[in-house]
């Protein structure tokens, strides 16, 4: 047989996703398959909903998973909540802000895109100024923009959106499970996360939550399939959702006690998400956020001690991603290839205006570990030394160790 | 901790999907994560494409997976190949024919639905008669309709579609990997399959293949995202594909040597599909189809010996699903619950006009095993005896064993 079994080389995944899945999550996926309507399986689905509520810090009934990667989760919530012609404000501060706009353009939304320099975030006043100009149905934005490493504070924006009667829909793909995301306290109406970043499961599922305001829109757009339609299903009063597969109305019914047949739930990914959420709750949200913060502090101390500069507005840097400016004369592609090939460490390149200018280092989920931080700093130093960069050899790992030592006291 | 680890009760999955995943597939999923652009991972993706081509029996370059369940794969190919206003003929012979129509309705296709009684299939002449009446852009239909257990012969229909210049798009979700599917020989332009049936992996990925005719449509609808657009990307000449996530143009670029960033490939499901295809090719397509056929013969012999009648046109019954008429006075729900609770065996109910009238037994992938057939027959007999059904006790298993004995000679 010319095709070999799966046997990946050892890897330390320090890009901002996908990151290392918790080994408990990987093991959970090897459990045998249950039927999708087996009461044991639907009980698991209900537990996933409850655990996801705790991780999203919400009481939203509608909190579940979509059988897509995180991008599909974004599209599902956006195209469910937004009808053609609805005015949507998108404050974009990196590549994934553009993605929200791309998704909404296709469903016929009337989009106003405002931008800020890559490496900065928005002042809440900028959002308010836009909402004053005209009435918007929704504001859609990214919480943690991995393309720039910036994190947009949301609490005040949530309050402003509420005041102006605009829905707030937030992409927390890169932040959920690694840093605070408070859906209810921050007045977020719809929120989407991935599994392959701080949640530390494989890519392939999206976590979503939305409140009554969005649920009401969904119900008004609902249409039950001909093959399984009954008399109690009435016609929709708003335009139907454009996709069958990404149809929140159908997904909601599938996840409801009615369990109306839609797709065949991705069994093993459901096991993975269930176990990943359980691991998060066993660790405790506060402990988990503190772990990411400490590892971030150690990483940044090490990078700085090495003489590297950190990209962007440091006040708003995500604790789970750090971007460094590539030292002059060096090729980021070459550095990354050497890290991967010699050390089995993966870090990330960048997009658009930052392409070739920065390298991005993730610090997410199971990958966010003291040993990985130390290993990455040591390896990066060695690679830079190979390229004759003048740096104080040994200082980076020492500076990081000092951070850990202080924290232990 | 109130939430327990994943620990499903033992199950024999004899519904027409999801079925038992091959244990080798489940183990492959517990391999650690690789980055999505790691050369080791992209090499795996290329191997998946090549193995999928062999299983689909096609030379189509565009043969890969979509990170959705099978339903999402159907929508991806259909909404990629069909533009708003395109005339599509849908010959429906069960619930999943309606699904094709539901999906295409939402993308604005001009649909002609023709139907035949549940439990029968179409004569090729019926399709030809429709194609004579007006010019269709495409014919979309189901190969194996699990809702009725019927299988539509395709070879002649493929030739007719070719003659009339209509694309043929086929749902082989229930058949690929269990019975012959010859994409090239049957002139199928676009073909979609699931992973949770005869392919014997978990649900959560869809296998797709399409030829140059569909690829040309896709390329004419292509639009590269703003965040990663370059000068070589020109504007589209046909209406853009309605979904970003299910956009074949973007998926095709992601799976091409260009590896243009789109979603984050579902790592563990990719491992699963890779291993499942490898298992199919190691067994050999002919051996695999013969195994399903033999187990089907034994199952039907057993059911008949028990005095049960098999539903539908037996000449066109799928070898991987068998529907039995529920004996008068019995409640299918009760029978299923007893099989599940006392024996850990899952068989399936039905939809629409057949709801409450038939029970469906799957015989797919790893679940298609002599011991499972014998166990299911024995358990079903015991359950029927509990309900005082008069039947020749012991004959069902004996009849199945006789089939196996004959085959071994």
pLDDT one-digit tens code per residue, A34-44: 999 999 999 99
Q: Do B269 and A266 make contact, defined as CB atoms within 8 angstroms?
A: yes
Min CA distance, A35 vs chain B (Å)? 6
Q: Is the pLDDT of residue B234 over 70?
A: no
pLDDT one-digit tens code per residue, A84-120: 999 999 999 999 999 999 999 999 999 999 999 999 9
Report strand pairing: B110-115 vs B87-92.
parallel
Over its C-alpha atoms, chain B yields an Rg (Å, rounded) of 22
Residue B244 three-state SS: coil
Contact B78, B54 (CB under 8 A): no
Tell me how crowded residue A312 is: count the other CB atoms within 10 A of its CB: 25
Chain A residue with minimal CA distance to B243?
A: A106
DSSP calls for A177-201:
TTS---TTTTT-SEEEEESSSTT-S
Sign of CA dihedral B400, B402, B405, B409: negative
Q: Is the pLDDT of residue B233 over 80?
A: no
Predicted structure pTM score? 0.97
Sign of CA dihedral B157, B163, B164, B168: positive
Mean pLDDT of chain A: 96
User: Given this model, what pLDDT does residue B303 score?
Assistant: 98
What value does the mean pLDDT take over residues B89-103?
A: 97
Burial of A310 (0-12, 13-18, 19+ CB in 10 A): middle
Is A360 known to sit in a ligand binding site? yes
Residue A344 three-state SS: coil
User: Given this model, what pLDDT does residue A252 score?
Assistant: 96
Per-residue tokens: A77: 């919530």
What CATH class is the domain B285-408? alpha beta
User: Given this model, what pLDDT does residue A351 score?
Assistant: 86
A12 neighbourhood in chain B, CB within 8 Å: none
Q: Does B71 touch chain A (CB under 8 A)?
A: yes
Q: How confident is the model at residue B1 (pLDDT cuts 50, 70, 90)?
A: low
What value does the mean pLDDT take over residues A15-32?
A: 98
Q: Is the pLDDT of residue B338 over 90?
A: yes
User: Given this model, what pLDDT does residue A1 score?
Assistant: 66
B27 neighbourhood in chain A, CB within 8 Å: 30
Q: Is the pLDDT of residue B369 over 90?
A: yes
Question: What does the alpha-carbon distance between residue B77 and residue B74 come to, in Å, rounded to a whole number?
Answer: 6
Percent of chain B with pLDDT over 90: 95
Residue B4 three-state SS: coil
Q: Does A7 touch chain B (CB under 8 A)?
A: yes
A23 neighbourhood in chain B, CB within 8 Å: 32
DSSP calls for B143-154:
SEETTTTEE---
User: Given this model, what pLDDT does residue B237 score?
Assistant: 80
Q: Does B72 touch chain A (CB under 8 A)?
A: yes
Question: What does the alpha-carbon distance between residue B293 and residue B9 come to, in Å, rounded to a whole number?
Answer: 29
Q: Is the pLDDT of residue A71 over 80?
A: yes
Structure-token match 């109130």, residue found:
B2
pLDDT one-digit tens code per residue, A114-171: 999 999 999 999 999 999 999 999 999 999 999 999 999 999 999 999 999 999 999 9
- Residue boundaries of the structural domains of chain A: 22-280, 285-408
Question: What does the alpha-carbon distance between residue A251 and residue A64 come to, in Å, rounded to a whole number?
Answer: 9
Q: Which residue has the higher pLDDT, B224 or A304?
A: A304
Q: Do B245 and A75 make contact, defined as CB atoms within 8 angstroms?
A: yes
Question: What does the alpha-carbon distance between residue A353 and residue A359 come to, in Å, rounded to a whole number?
Answer: 13
Of A96, A106, A225, the CB nearest to B244: A106
Of A5, A226, A261, the CB nearest to B102: A226
Q: How confident is the model at residue A214 (pLDDT cuts 50, 70, 90)?
A: very high
C-alpha dihedral, B132 to B138 to B142 to B148, nearest 10°:
-50
User: Would you state the CATH architecture of domain A22-280?
Assistant: 3-Layer(aba) Sandwich (3.40)
Q: Does A275 touch chain B (CB under 8 A)?
A: yes
* CATH number belonging to domain B23-280: 3.40.640.10
Percent of chain A with pLDDT over 70: 97
- Nearest one of A99, A144, A96, A94 to A116, comparing CA atoms: A94
């Amino acid at each position: 047989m010319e095709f070999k079994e799966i046997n990946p080389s050892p890897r330390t995944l320090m890009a901002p996703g996908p990151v290392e899945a918790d080994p408990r999550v990987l093991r959970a996926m090897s459990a045998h398959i249950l039927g999708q309507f087996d009461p044991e399986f639907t009980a698991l689905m209900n537990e996933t909903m409850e655990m996801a509520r705790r991780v999203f810090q919400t009481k939203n009934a509608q909190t579940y998973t979509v059988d897509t990667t995180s991008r599909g989760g974004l599209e599902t919530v956006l195209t469910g909540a937004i009808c053609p012609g609805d005015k949507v404000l998108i404050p974009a501060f990196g590549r994934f802000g553009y993605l929200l706009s791309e998704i909404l353009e296709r469903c016929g939304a009337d989009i106003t895109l405002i931008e800020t320099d890559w490496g900065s975030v928005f002042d809440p006043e900028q959002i308010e100024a836009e909402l004053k100009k005209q009435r918007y149905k929704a504001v859609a934005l990214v919480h943690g923009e991995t393309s720039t490493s910036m994190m947009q504070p949301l609490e005040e924006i949530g309050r402003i959106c509420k005041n102006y009667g605009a829905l707030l829909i937030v992409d927390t793909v890169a932040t959920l499970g690694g840093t605070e995301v408070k859906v209810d306290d921050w007045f977020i109406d719809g929120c989407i996360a991935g599994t392959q970043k701080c949640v530390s499961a494989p890519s392939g599922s999206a976590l979503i939550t939305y409140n009554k305001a969005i649920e009401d829109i969904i119900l008004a757009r609902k249409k039950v399939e001909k093959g399984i339609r009954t008399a109690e299903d009435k016609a929709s009063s708003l335009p139907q959702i454009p996709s069958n597969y990404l149809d929140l109305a159908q997904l909601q019914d599938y996840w409801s006690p009615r369990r109306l047949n839609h797709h065949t739930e991705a069994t093993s990914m459901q096991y993975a998400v269930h176990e990943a959420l359980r691991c998060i709750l066993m660790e405790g949200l506060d402990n988990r956020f503190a772990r990411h913060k400490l590892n971030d502090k150690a990483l940044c101390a090490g990078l700085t001690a090495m003489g590297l500069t950190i990209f962007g507005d440091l006040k708003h840097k995500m604790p789970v991603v750090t971007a460094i400016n590539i030292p002059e004369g060096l090729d980021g592609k070459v550095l990354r290839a050497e890290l991967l090939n010699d050390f089995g460490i993966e870090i990330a390149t960048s997009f658009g205006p930052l392409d070739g200018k920065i390298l991005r280092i993730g610090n997410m989920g199971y990958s966010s570990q003291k040993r990985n931080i130390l290993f990455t700093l040591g390896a990066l130093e060695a690679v830079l030394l190979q390229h004759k960069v003048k740096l104080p050899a040994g200082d980076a790992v020492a500076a990081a160790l000092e951070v850990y030592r202080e924290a232990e006291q």
